[in-house]
């Protein structure tokens, strides 16, 4: 059982790439790429997505580990929120000092 090394993958798995553009901002999804492992994915993301100073930090996440909502669930997931305008706290007076919220 353990005498066989892991067989080489024919296809490199897919990774999602997240870049933080500067300190204090959140990482944002910017694309995806195929790579053989996490280290490999990081280096490729560096070469592909940060050539024009787009980032100060990179995350890569195996796409297979992301659980996503189904497009078919759109109706029951998201549509019921459409007519609940009272959930937006638009009736508060925001003091000028608070600035942009």
Report the interface residues with other proteins, using CB under 8 A.
8, 33-36, 39-40, 43-44, 46-48, 51
Q: CB-based contacts of 56: which residues, under 8 Å, 6+ apart?
A: 20, 21, 22, 23
C-beta closer to other proteins: residue 53 or 69: 53
DSSP string, 41-81: HHHHHHHHHSTTS--SEEEEEEGGG-----GGGHHHHHGGG
- Which CB atom, from 37 or from 74, has the smaller least distance to other proteins? 37
**Cβ closest to other proteins, residue 19 vs residue 33:** 33
Least distance CB 29 / other proteins (angstroms): 18
């Amino acid at each position: 059982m353990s005498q066989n090394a892991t067989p080489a993958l024919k296809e490199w798995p897919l990774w999602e790439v997240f870049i933080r553009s500067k300190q204090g901002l959140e990482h944002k999804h910017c694309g995806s790429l195929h790579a053989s492992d996490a280290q490999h994915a990081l280096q490729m993301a560096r070469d592909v997505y940060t050539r024009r100073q787009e980032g100060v930090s990179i995350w890569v996440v195996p796409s297979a580990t992301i659980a996503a909502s189904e497009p078919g669930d759109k109706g029951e997931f998201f549509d019921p929120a459409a007519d609940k305008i009272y959930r937006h706290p638009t009736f508060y007076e925001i003091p000028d000092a608070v600035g942009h919220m």
